[in-house]
Structures are given as C-alpha cells and as structure tokens.
Chain A
Amino acid sequence: MIKLTIGEKVWQVAVYTILILLSLVCLLPFLYVVAVSVTPESEVLRRGIVILPETFTFAAYKEVFISHGIGQAYKITLFRTIVGTALNVLFTVLAAYPLSKKYLPGRSPFLIFIVFTMMFSGGLIPTYLLVRSMGLLNSPWVLIIPHLISAFNLVIIKGFFEQLPAEIEESSRVDGASELQSLWRIILPLSLPVLATISLFYAVGHWNSYFDAIVYLNDSSLMPLQVVLRNILLNVATQSADSMANSGAVSQFAVQMAAVVVTTVPILIVYPFMQKHFTKGVLLGSIKG
C-alpha cells in the first residue's frame, strides 16, 4: 500500500463517517418503527420517547391481524405476486424468443409496435374505461392482466437471447428439436440469471403496487396488503374502527407501526438473496436503454 498523507487520512475518515451516517439514516427509521410497534402504551406514557423498549407486547400485531384483515390482504398480495409473476415471465419469454430471431420476417415492425408503447400511452382514463368495459372491475385478475407484459423487460430478455451464441441452438435444431424444445432445453437454462432478474422486477412490482387496486377494486376483501396498510396509515375507518376504540391497551400509532412491519418483513427476508440479481438488472437495462 502507498503511504497516506495526513490530508488523505482526513479524507478517508470523512468518507467513512459520511457513509456510516448515510447507512444509519437508511436503517434507523425501521428500528424505530419496530420499537414503537412492540412497546406497550403504558411504557410510552411513562418514558416518553422509547427507542429500546423495556417491556414488550404483541397486542398491536394481534390488532392488525384480527381486525384489519391483514391475513386476507396477504392472500391477495401473494396471489398477485406468485401467479402474476409466473404469467408475466411466461408471456414475456414467449414473445422475447421469436423477437430475438433476426431472420424472422416482420420482426422489426413487431418490435416497433411494442417499443412504441413505452413512449406513448393512452393514459389512465382510457385504460380505466377499457378495463371497465371488459368486465374486469372488482375481479382479482385485474391486478394481473392489465400489466401482463412489461415492454421494458421484454426488450431486456430479447437482448439477452440475441447475444447467446447461435451455434448452440443450431446444433440442437439439426438434431431435430423443434423451436419450443430448443427454447426450453437450450435457451432457458442458459438464461437463468436474467430470468431471475426479470422475475424479481415483476415480483417486487406486484408486491409494492397499490394504485391499481384502489382504482379497479371496490370489495374490501380483495384489497392487497399495500392498500390495507395505506388505509391504516391514513386512518381510514376500516371494519375495526369500533374494536380499536375499546381496546385501550393498544395505541392507534402502535397499530400503524405494526402494520408497516408486517408489510416490510417479507421484503427484508428475501432482499439479501436477490440483491445480486437486482444489481445485474440495472446494468442489463442500461446497456439496452
């Protein structure tokens, strides 16, 4: 190593300090949310600001699950995330494969047809009217079908397929494999990393989106996790308005924080495993973009 001058040492200390502070700013809100969610009302009244609770209660969590219907909301969110992502990836791959073949007649008009939708859209209202006229309102499928394929992800996968060496596939075709067989046996196994990235993009999108449910759904039993959390945060009266009033042990604030925790934890659990794929995804997207 090169010897550092005093100036450089000061610089290094400053860099590390700033980065540590930034990391704390990213993390501390979560810790505070968790602390509030498990601190009994009595301790808050006694101590004021509680960062490290001395006593614990899960009353707020009970409240969130029992009277706010978080369990049902979890089911809806899991449905849209699992089924939705599976269909997203399936249809994206099916379209990306033919579009990656430069020899396919009509390929470029088809591509323009798809890429154009990334640049121009009819907007919220005409889309709403279409969904309405298709009778999709108030069906759980409305959370999946209108966003079945992302043109952006399609272009990423297409680009990845294109740069796979053509010889590998040709040799399988010579052996008599059909297009579908070579897609399934040759192309997809080689594309697992990019498929993982795309799946994660779709899955996080499903997990996090809330606006489509607000616009397209009425039935409160169909509301996904994010919408239920939103209602709890905005204090919108839910089924539980009265049950909350008479359970004095839990503050509304603790319930809100418990709801934040319950919605965030699944992301925190899978995040360490998927971080690598996400990082790759950014770079993939930028090459094509």
Chain B
Amino acid sequence: MQAKLAADAIPRSEKRNSWIRTIQKYKVMYILLFPALLYFAVFKYIPMAGIIIAFKNYNLALGLWDSPWVGLKNFTDFINGVYFWDIMRNTIVISLYKLLFGFSAPIVLALLLNEVYTQWFKKIVQTITYLPHFLSWVIVYGLMVALLAPGDGLFNMILKENGVQPISFLTEPAWGRLLVISSEIWKDIGWGAILYLAALAGIDPSLYEAARMDGASKWRQLWHVTLPGIRGVIILMLILKLSHILDAGFDQIFMFANSFNQEKIDIIDTWVYREGLERLKIGLATAVGLFKAVIGFVLVLAANKIAKKFDGQIW
C-alpha cells in the first residue's frame, strides 16, 4: 500500500528503481522460477509458434523460413481429403463409446464397493482393480496377444478345441473398436472408481438412517441418497471428459492399430503421426494438429466455465 502511494507520487526514473528493488528483494524466488519458465518457453511456446508451419508447404530441406506460404491450403486439403470423415468418425465414435462405457463402469464399481462391509475384501478388490492402471499400453497389448493371438492365444485355442475357426481378433477391423474400448475399461475401471469412492465416503450416514426409518428400499436409497450425493463429482467428471472428446487415446491406439484394422480405429493423432513423420507431409500434419488443438482449447475453456457454474450450485 505504501509502496504504491509512493510510486504514484514520484517520477519515472524512481519508478524504475522500485522495479529493480522489487526484483532484488525477491531475487532468489525469481532465480528458482527461472528454469521452469525457460522450460515452458522453449518446449511449449516455441512449438506453439511453430504452428505457422500449418500455413506453409513445409520442406525439411528448405526449413521454416524458406518454405513457401500456402495460406489455408493445408486445412482445405484436410477437410476435403478422403480420409477426413474416416478419422473424424473414428475419433469421435471411439471417444463417445469410451465415454458411455468407460465413464459409467467406474461409477458402478464404486457403488458396488460401497455395498461391501468386509474391509479386507474391499481392500483386496481395490488393490487388484487399481493395478492395470499402472501398466503401459504395450503391456496391455501383450496381455491381449496372450488371450487373442490367432495361433496360440487362449481364446483361439479354446475355439480350436471346439472345432471353431480361429478369429484374428487383433487384426480384424470388426473387432478393433471393441478391443480398444474394452481394454480401456479393463485398465481404468478401478482407478476411475477412486474419486467416486471418496465422494461416497463423504455422504452423511444419517441420511441413510433416515431413509431406512422411512422404510426406503435399497433401490430407493440408491436413488434418493447415494446418487444425489455423488452427482456433483459425476457431472464434473463428465464435463471434463467431454472436453477431451478429440483425445481418443493416442498411446493405446498407436499400439493397437495395424494396417489391417486401421480403417476402424485410425484417429486424428495417429493419422498426424503417420502423415507428418512417416510420409513427411509436415505442413498438412501440423495443420491437422492445430485444428485439433484449437477445438480442444475451446472445449476445455467451455468445460471450465460450465464446471464453475456447477461448482457454485452443487458443492
């Protein structure tokens, strides 16, 4: 307060001095902060500036400055490309399925765990179901190979013993999305339940007592006490997930996709990788990345706004 009054009253050179004095006073703090600012500037903001590549016909040999400008050509090429609807559809369909099933499964698991009063049993189930979250998608794919490989995979061995033709689960386009979605559920059902379990633990037990006194059945308790108790968390998580609708899971699909099943599970991110770094259509791939980043940005901002609105009402 005093500093501000003083700064208003004295001439500019003095003001600059007060700046220097501030920096000097907090010198150590700024020095501590500096590496992080440098890191974000270099590894996050320089690539952001690099999106001008999206408006160029980028050529690795010519480099950033000498590659010719092409305006919006990369964007129109993308939107008019034959692949556009395929990868948009794959991305959104996979995301929506993951939302529909991957989102509700942890809620169901949390509700079930909440019905368990044997603490050791609950703990064991939690420990087991949280585990897959910590495995890489490569390992998860390895488990799928174990179960589904055409020759030796467990399911195909069983099919063979029963005289049924083996199925190439891992390469058959018709199985692609099902594998992507079910493995996602398998991997994150337990992990996703943690948040809801915490919310469930926060429900006032006297509400259940009161409901039971009124003769409410289990279902009515679920409907009138439990679900309203975790509604806030559910809505919040749903909004956040919706804002990431264009992130269909790169690490996973990059592992699962092959030239056979690609038509059904190729998403924006995997397409950008192939087009940009394998076929070296760098301008086009950057444009598609930018297209996705802008939509994602708008969705996240909208989600934050909506979430804040709910914040006020629910919490």
Contact = CB atoms under 8 A, between A and B. Distances in A.
Contacts of A146: 43
Given A19-B113, A233-B138, A117 B191 contact: no
B195 A282 contact: yes
B292 interface: yes
A29 B276 CA distance: 36
Contacts of B158: 49
A23 B128 contact: yes
Contacts of A23: 124-125, 128-129
Interface in B272-288: 272-273, 276-277, 282, 285-286
Interface stretch (B87-95, B172-180, B249-257): B249-257
B33 A121 contact: no
Interface stretch (B5-13, B77-85, B141-149, B223-231): B141-149
Interface string B260-279: 00000000010011001100
B102 interface: no
Interface residues of A, number: 89
Interface string B183-212: 000100111001100100000000000000
B22 interface: yes
Interface in A22-39: 22-23, 25-27, 29-30, 32-33, 36
Contacts of B293: 120-123
Given A29-B146, A98-B33, A282-B195, A122 B40 contact: no
A271 B131 contact: yes
Given A49-B154, A94-B32, A121 B47 contact: yes
Interface in A163-204: 178-180, 204
A126 B47 contact: yes
B39 A208 contact: no
B278 to A, nearest CB: 10
A26 B149 contact: no
Contacts of B128: 23, 26-27
A205 to B, nearest CB: 10
A154 B35 CA distance: 13
A161 interface: no
A213 B145 CA distance: 22
Contact of A282 (B32, B37, B51, B194): B194
A95 interface: yes
B40 A114 contact: yes
Interface stretch (A52-60, A62-70, A238-246, A249-257): A249-257
Nearest to B197: A279
A19 B125 contact: yes
Nearest to A18: B112
A211 B158 CA distance: 34
B71 interface: no
B131 A26 contact: yes
Contacts of B214: none
B69 interface: no
25 contacts: A16-B116, A22-B125, A22-B129, A22-B189, A26-B186, A33-B143, A91-B36, A95-B35, A122-B293, A123-B272, A125-B276, A128-B277, A129-B53, A130-B43, A130-B46, A179-B32, A210-B136, A210-B137, A230-B255, A233-B138, A263-B138, A279-B194, A283-B194, A283-B195, A286-B195
Interface of A: 7-8, 11-12, 15-16, 18-20, 22-23, 25-27, 29-30, 32-33, 36, 44, 48-49, 91-92, 94-95, 97-99, 101, 104-105, 110, 113-114, 117, 119-130, 145-146, 148-149, 151, 154, 178-180, 204, 207-211, 215, 226-227, 229-230, 233-234, 251, 253, 256-257, 259-260, 263-264, 267-268, 271-272, 275, 278-279, 282-283, 286, 289
Ranked nearest first, the 7 interchain pairs of A and B with the lowest CB-CB distance are: A126-B50, A122-B47, A123-B289, A95-B36, A208-B136, A260-B142, A126-B47
